[in-house]
Amino acid sequence: MAMRQTPLTCSGHTRPVVDLAFSGITPYGYFLISACKDGKPMLRQGDTGDWIGTFLGHKGAVWGATLNKDATKAATAAADFTAKVWDAVSGDELMTLAHKHIVKTVDFTQDSNCLLTGGQDKLLRIYDLNKPEADPKEISGHTSGIKKALWCSEDKQILSADDKTVRLDPIKSFEAPATINSASLHPEKEFLVAGGEDFKLYKYDYNSGEELESYKGHFGPIHCVRFSPDGELYASGSEDGTLRLWQTVVGKTYGLWKCVLPEEDSGELAKPKISFPETAEEELEEIASENSDSIYSSTPEVKA
């Protein structure tokens, strides 16, 4: 039976959402951080989109955000010429790393001991987080501002980009009907999802390259797409100021989605129902009240 994709819409940001990152799977589930031009990166429960808190401290647009593997630390990159490292549990700012220009990207090593940054000054910097007073190691070579930099090959190599080209030996390529801004590969390399200038998300079979599905839900270009660590959903961030969560397998009961089948011969599509715990809003209000002096502010909505 055909199923209809029903994304969860996570509101709260007031300007375009430009970067997203998931943590690894922890004993408490997994988590999602979003970077936004409103200067207020947000932390959410990864499988439901429930808002946890907002990191307050930057004085300009936040271009990049990431979480370490166990979701105990967060890092952000901003237009105020700083990268910041945060305690992701308490929301406390742990350190501010001054730069000479806008910072666009941040990434932790797997052991969380080092942070990689890049930005408009065309330099990659590696900070030893156990020695915050030490000067970072600088790597030059880029000829324009760095948009993204990531650790790869078990933190032995760095992959960075400063224009519209990532230079490697190509493994696979996929044709898309619009300009693509971001793509993400399923953890088990089954699917690829991508989004861009036509407001739509595309899902491809990784092996055959066949377009499997496409969905339109955002009201602006899509800037970032990321699969969750378990592969059950993917998140998208857009110019419209929202991030949305989409099911990898439409109709599967997972997180806030619960499959509800229509009556026979009704002619309706089966539709995943969005269910919310009765006490969810009360619990969030209680958390916000208890932590009013830390990162927590008003409670953004999560809705179908």
Percent of the residues in the chain that have a pLDDT greater than 90, as a whole number: 67
Q: Region 65-74: what's the mean pLDDT?
A: 97
Q: Which of 198, 206, 164 is CA-nearest to residue 179?
A: 198
Verify that 151 and 14 share a domain, yes or no: yes
Write down the mean pLDDT value for the chain.
86
Verify that 100 and 212 share a domain, yes or no: no
- Domain end among 249, 268, 289: 249
Verify that 93 and 152 share a domain, yes or no: yes
Is 234 part of any domain? yes
- Domain end among 131, 165, 199: 165
Q: Region 113-138: what's the mean pLDDT?
A: 93
Name the domain count of the chain: 2
- Name the β-bridge partners of 193: 184, 203
Verify that 223 and 156 share a domain, yes or no: no
Which domain covers residue 243, as residue numbers? 179-249
pLDDT (tens digit per residue) in 245-268: 999 998 899 999 987 766 654 555
E-state strands within 109-247: 114-119, 124-128, 137-139, 148-152, 157-161, 180-185, 191-196, 200-205, 211-216, 222-227, 233-238, 243-247
Verify that 96 and 243 share a domain, yes or no: no
- Domain end among 136, 165, 194: 165
CATH number of the domain that 194 lies in? 2.40.10
Is 172 part of any domain? no
Verify that 14 and 93 share a domain, yes or no: yes
Verify that 12 and 152 share a domain, yes or no: yes
Verify that 201 and 92 share a domain, yes or no: no
Is 277 part of any domain? no
pLDDT at 128 over 50: yes
Verify that 212 and 119 share a domain, yes or no: no
Is 39 part of any domain? yes
Token look-up 């996570």 returns 10
CATH number of the domain that 24 lies in? 2.130.10.10
pLDDT at 219 over 90: yes
What predicted TM-score, i.e. pTM, was given to this entire model? 0.84
Is 110 part of any domain? yes
Verify that 136 and 15 share a domain, yes or no: yes
By residue count, the chain amounts to 304
Is 302 part of any domain? no
pLDDT at 271 over 80: no
